[in-house]
Structure 1
């Protein structure tokens, strides 16, 4: 439950600003961001498969086939949350062809979250992939969020 609350807090932090005690809307940028999750139930992935989050909650045309392509250079907050249900799983957040961070969950409906600050250039791509072995990601508890912060 704590991971879900962290993700909700992350979205709120990225979506609002408080100036002199007044909540103001963020200034939109052309780079923007998005949030996506998986569909309900078990979602099977082969080893090294790109996780294609198919339930888009906050759309952006820079996200396609599981990969986010940077169109505006800048600083980004990227968050990945995963749960594999009753099996173990490893995923990695990829930046171009390099592993940026790892996530791991055990087989007791454990959850894992990585939220990282990334400096990204135009044309770079980030995505999440299944690592080490084929496995299952369970339900809507798996999210991928990208937000440009500057």
Structure 2
């Protein structure tokens, strides 16, 4: 009886070793998949030369009606955006994702996202807040060609509040 139990125990130990071996190889495969996915994601981001993300500086910013909003706090810098003018200029044709978030300051505000280069620019979308410290956001996909411009313009109100205001553009596909 004792011998049988030992042999059965040895068989169970071998099965447990095989299960552990499979578990380890599966774990290694999962780790490799995660690493390869990470490498692919980084490669895709690096491949998009036209991309940026900026916000406003801390505090309240006064922007005159009809003026472009100049986002100056760098979150991610690729190419094409000029924080001195508030204008993104396309250098590579493609399908782009445009995202704008806003928080008004002490009064309501109204922004438009516009496409140039011709003034006053084709309106792509509207953002509106109806009271102090209210928020709005807009995300769109659009096909753009070289020298197209994208910018955000203040249409009414004058006060934007803090880093809650962002402007981001990224190329997501070829034309």
TM-score in same-fold range (> 0.5): yes
Unaligned runs of 5+ in 2: 1-32
- Rounded Cα–Cα distance in structure 1 between residues aligned with 2:50 and 2:144: 13
**Residue of structure 1 equivalent to 2:88:** 68
Residue aligning to 1:50 = 68
Q: Is the 8 A contact 1:78 1:146 kept in 2?
A: yes
Aligned to 1:87, which of 107, 116, 120? 107
Which structure exhibits the higher relative contact order, with contacts defined as CA atoms closer than 8 Å and separated by 6 or more residues? 1
By percentage of residues, which structure has more helix?
2
Instruction: Specify the structure having the higher radius of gyration (Cα).
Output: 2
Tell me which stretches of 4 or more aligned residues in structure 1 moved more than 4 Å. none
Distance in 1 separating the partners of 2:96 and 2:79: 16
Give ranges in structure 1 of 5+ residues lacking alignment. Answer: 1-20
Q: Is the 8 A contact 1:30 1:72 kept in 2?
A: no
Match for residue 160 of structure 2?
A: 137
Q: Residue in 2 aligned with 1:32? A: 50
1:7-65 alpha-carbon deviations (Å, 9 max, x no partner): xxxxxxxxxxxxxx633324223533000000111100111110000101111331112
Number of the residue aligned with 1:8: none
* 1:110 CA drift (Å): 1.1
1:117 to 141, 144, 160: 141
Superposition CA RMSD, Å: 1.6
Q: 1:108 to 1:45 in 2, by over 3 A?
A: closer
Contact 1:44–1:134 (Cα < 8 Å) also in 2: no
The Cα of 1:134 is off from its aligned counterpart by 4.2
